[in-house]
């Protein structure tokens, strides 16, 4: 095979799969439908660099500025910035511009790995806030605003607070309340809204973080709307934020060759959403309601709903638990993929999660519902599944991640790593939340959880194929 990646794409593309994974356009006809079919047919001609008239991402004065201003209007922000390396870079820039080197950041422990990487880059001290656990689905829930208040009171020198909302499973925290508290103490609130770019467009979904008063909000437009993978937008929403500092951090972190294809896809997404965003997202919500009605009547298929969650829930994340029927998340994912050509976003021990977006059609939801009902009939097993309950263990940090030295590290077998200090992050991916951070002790409890998780086919970053993990000498 001379072109393994391209060959894979051709093969996969020819399968005409149903996508319940990122990106949000779902390879649908959404570009053609709104008059942008030409873009898809001409990508080789439109793949340019900063030629005359094409503006500059890091000194936007022309067409890029126009595009960014349109996002600010669309989302109701003070200013918006295009990101060509994902929400990941927005998070890095937001943290590095809000917290000075060696400073303190109050952060959700279930943050995306980019937040932990910002700690390393800025030698920032984390103050962890642990999420609630939604036991019925074995996932992380909201971050309680009272925990944030306590953390601020105990750490008055912390400069900013960051949390994901919605989290990977669609569970939102009360951003309005959190913003009120954070601002009472004059700190900056950063919301990782990578999974919530669509919230703004329906009042049947939780309120967006910009509308809830967060200072900096980052949206992966590619995840749930229609732009290409890796394109995202950062919104700045208050006077507390130093925009010049954010711009400086963005030009450090992002590519100096920003892709015009990505930026054009952001531009096109904005145009589609401006014209028809409310209709598209409300249609999506209608389809999800129809899907849930159909599937919930089938015994043994548990789909997460608002009533399962104390805080607000973004129902465009379809969390399916069929463990009552003896099926793990990865059992269901494999059957959906192999037999029904339906590709899902994520598997945890008990769950399989479908991430829906504006490109999903009613037909996609009907096919998923029919497949699940058939799976229930054909593949059910008469055995109980014992999956490990999700957990975080507190106070295991002995080194700051920035203090770790690669020359003083070695690789040991995961099974023999109890008591060692982890030299890298160990991350079930997705959702990309580190279970062990660099500099934390690998405890017996965490190790047992990891071993149990590995048995359920969840992909774990930081554990090599030979089952070894990096630890400090
Ligand atoms: C909660 C969360 N934040 C941030 C990111 C990073 O987003 P991106 O892929 O756009 O860089 C992800 C990626 O999946 C995520 O799940």
- Span 378-407, average pLDDT: 78
Assess whether 153 and 192 both reside in one domain: yes
Query: According to the model, what pLDDT value does residue 393 have?
Result: 82
Three-state SS for 80?
strand
Nearest-atom index, ligand 1, CA of 91: 4
Last residue of a domain, one of 271, 299, 320: 271
149 part of a folded domain: yes
Given 235, 255, 271, the domain boundary residue is 271
DSSP SS3 for 441: strand
State yes or no: pLDDT of 382 exceeds 90.
no
pLDDT at res. 407: 65
Task: State the pLDDT at residue 1.
Answer: 67
Instruction: Say how many Å lie between the CA of residue 88 and the centre of ligand 1.
Output: 6
Half-sphere exposure of 325 (CA within 13 A, CB side): 23
pLDDT reading at 297 higher than 90: no
3-state secondary structure of 214: coil
Which ligand 1 atom minimizes the distance to the CA of 431?
Answer: 16
Any domain includes 25: no
Tokens of 66: 């126009």
Q: Which of 90, 112, 216, 429 to mutate to test the pocket of ligand 1 (most atoms within 8 A of CB)?
A: 112
pLDDT band per the 50, 70, 90 thresholds, residue 234: very high
Same domain, residue pair 246 and 330: no
pLDDT one-digit tens code per residue, 388-400: 777 788 878 888 8
Q: Determine the distance separating the centroid of ligand 1 and the alpha carbon of 234, expressed in angstroms.
A: 13
pLDDT digits (tens, 9 = 90+) for 4-52: 999 999 999 999 899 999 999 999 999 999 999 999 999 999 999 999 9
Q: Which helix (H) or strand (E) holds 14?
A: helix 4-14
Pocket test for ligand 1, best of 90, 162, 165, 195 (most atoms within 8 A of CB): 195
Q: What span, in angstroms and rounded, lies between the C-alpha atoms of 318 and 411?
A: 38
- In this structure, the answer to whether residues 230 and 122 fall within a common structural domain is yes
DSSP 130: P
* Average model confidence (pLDDT) across the chain: 94
We report the CATH number of the domain holding residue 342 as: 3.90.1150.150
Kindly compute the dihedral angle of the four CA atoms of residues 412, 417, 419, 420, in this order, to the nearest 10 degrees.
Answer: 30
Q: Is 17 a member of any domain? A: no
CATH number at residue 415: 3.90.100.10
* CA-based nearest residue to 452, from 385, 407, 361, 378: 385
Tell which residue, 66, 80, 126, has the closest CA to residue 99: 126
449 or 98: which leads in pLDDT = 98
pLDDT (0 to 100) of residue 30: 98
Residues 6+ apart with CB under 8 A from 308: 134, 136, 137
Three-state DSSP class for 61? coil
For CA atoms 30, 83, 61, 263, the dihedral sign is negative
- How far is residue 3's CA from residue 385's CA, in Å, rounded to a whole number? 41
User: pLDDT of 303-339, one tens digit each?
Assistant: 999 999 999 999 999 999 999 999 989 999 999 999 9
Residues 175 and 252 in one domain: yes
C-alpha 303 – ligand 1 centre gap (Å)? 23
Q: For a pocket test of ligand 1, which of 114, 169, 266, 430 has the largest count of ligand atoms closer than 8 A to its C-beta?
A: 114
Give a yes or no: residue 331 inside a domain.
Answer: yes
Tokens of 150: 């306590």
Q: So what's the pLDDT on residue 253?
A: 96
Q: Where does 246-325 show beta strands of DSSP type E?
A: 302-303, 317-321
Tokens coding 249: 């951090």
Instruction: Look at residues 207, 231, 213, 192 and name the one whose alpha carbon lies nearest to residue 71.
Output: 231
CA–centroid distance, residue 106 to ligand 1 (Å): 19
- DSSP character at residue 406: G
State whether 78 and 126 are in the same domain.
Answer: yes
CATH number for the domain including 52?
Answer: 3.40.640.10
Same domain, 361 and 412: no
pLDDT greater at residue 138 or residue 458: 138
The pLDDT-based confidence of 405 (bands split at 50, 70, 90) is low
Q: What is the CA(58)–ligand 1 centre distance, in A?
A: 22
Tell me what the mean pLDDT of segment 195-205 comes to.
98
Whole-number pLDDT of residue 293: 95
Compute the residue count for the chain.
Answer: 473
Q: Token pair of 434, please? A: 């580190």
Answer whether residue 3 is part of any domain: no
* Residue 359 maps to a domain: yes
461 and 444 part of one domain: yes
Residues 273 and 225: beta-carbon distance below 8 Å: yes
> Cα(232) to centroid of ligand 1, in Å?
10
Domain range enclosing 176: 33-271
H helix or E strand, kind and range, residue 134:
strand 133-134
**Percentage of the chain modeled with pLDDT above 90:** 81
Shared-domain flag, residues 114 and 247: yes
What share of the chain has pLDDT > 70, as a percent?
Answer: 99
Are 246 and 130 found together in one domain? yes
pLDDT tens per residue across span 247-275: 999 999 999 999 999 999 999 999 999 99
Which tokens in the block code for residue 63?
Answer: 């067409």
- Band of pLDDT at residue 341, cut at 50, 70 and 90: very high
Domain count along the chain = 3
pLDDT top residue among 408 and 60: 60
- Please give all residues whose beta carbon lies within 6 A of any atom in ligand 1, as ranges: 86-88, 112, 114, 164, 168, 192, 194-195, 220, 232, 431-432
Q: With respect to residue 8, please indicate whether it lies within any of the assigned structural domains.
A: no
Domain boundary (271, 299, 325) is at 271
Identify the band that residue 147 occupies on the pLDDT scale cut at 50, 70 and 90: very high
48 and 70 part of one domain: yes
102 with 242, same domain: the answer is yes
- Label the pairing between strands 460-461 and 409-413: unpaired
Residues 159 and 81 in one domain: yes
C-alpha 161 – ligand 1 centre gap (Å): 17
Residue 247 lies in a domain: yes
């Amino acid at each position: 095979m001379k072109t393994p990646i391209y060959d894979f794409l051709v093969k996969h593309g020819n399968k005409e799969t149903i996508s319940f994974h990122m990106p949000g356009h779902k390879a649908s006809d959404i570009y053609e439908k709104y008059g942008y079919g030409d873009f898809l047919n001409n990508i080789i001609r439109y793949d340019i660099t900063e030629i005359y008239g094409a503006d500059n991402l890091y000194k936007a004065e022309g067409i890029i500025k126009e595009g960014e201003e349109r996002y600010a209007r669309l989302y109701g922000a003070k200013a918006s910035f295009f990101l060509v390396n994902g929400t990941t870079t927005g998070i890095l820039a937001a943290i590095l511009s809000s917290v000075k080197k060696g400073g303190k950041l109050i952060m959700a422990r279930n943050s995306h790995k980019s937040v932990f990487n910002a700690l390393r880059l800025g030698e920032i001290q984390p103050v962890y806030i642990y999420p609630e656990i939604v036991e019925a689905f074995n996932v992380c829930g909201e971050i309680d605003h009272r925990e944030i208040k306590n953390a601020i009171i105990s750490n008055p020198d912390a400069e900013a607070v960051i949390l994901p909302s919605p989290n990977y499973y669609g569970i939102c925290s009360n951003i309005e309340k959190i913003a009120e508290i954070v601002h009472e103490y004059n700190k900056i609130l950063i919301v990782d809204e990578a999974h919530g770019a669509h919230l703004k467009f329906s009042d049947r979904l939780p309120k967006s973080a910009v509308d809830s008063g967060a200072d900096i909000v980052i949206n992966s437009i590619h995840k749930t709307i229609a732009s290409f993978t890796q394109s995202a937008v950062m919104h700045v929403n208050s006077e507390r934020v130093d925009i010049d500092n954010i711009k400086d951090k963005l030009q450090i972190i992002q590519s100096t060759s920003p892709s015009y294809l990505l930026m054009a896809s952001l531009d096109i997404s904005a145009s589609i959403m401006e014209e028809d965003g409310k209709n598209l997202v409300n249609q999506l919500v209608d389809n999800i309601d129809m899907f849930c009605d159909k599937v919930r009547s089938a015994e043994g298929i548990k789909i997460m709903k608002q009533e399962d969650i104390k805080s607000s829930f973004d129902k465009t994340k379809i969390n399916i638990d069929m463990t009552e029927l003896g099926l793990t998340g990865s059992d269901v994912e494999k059957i959906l993929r192999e037999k029904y050509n339906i590709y899902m976003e994520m598997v945890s021990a008990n769950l399989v999660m479908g991430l829906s977006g504006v490109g999903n059609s009613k037909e996609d939801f009907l096919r998923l519902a029919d497949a699940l009902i058939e799976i229930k009939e054909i593949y059910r097993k008469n055995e109980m599944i014992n999956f490990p309950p999700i957990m975080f263990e507190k106070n295991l940090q002995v080194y700051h991640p920035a203090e770790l030295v690669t020359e003083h590290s070695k690789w040991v077998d995961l099974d023999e790593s109890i008591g060692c200090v982890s030299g890298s992050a160990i991350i079930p991916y997705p959702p990309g939340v580190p279970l062990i951070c660099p500099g934390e002790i690998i405890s017996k409890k965490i190790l047992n959880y990891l071993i149990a998780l590995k048995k359920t086919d969840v992909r774990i970053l930081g554990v090599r194929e030979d089952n070894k993990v990096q630890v400090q000498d």
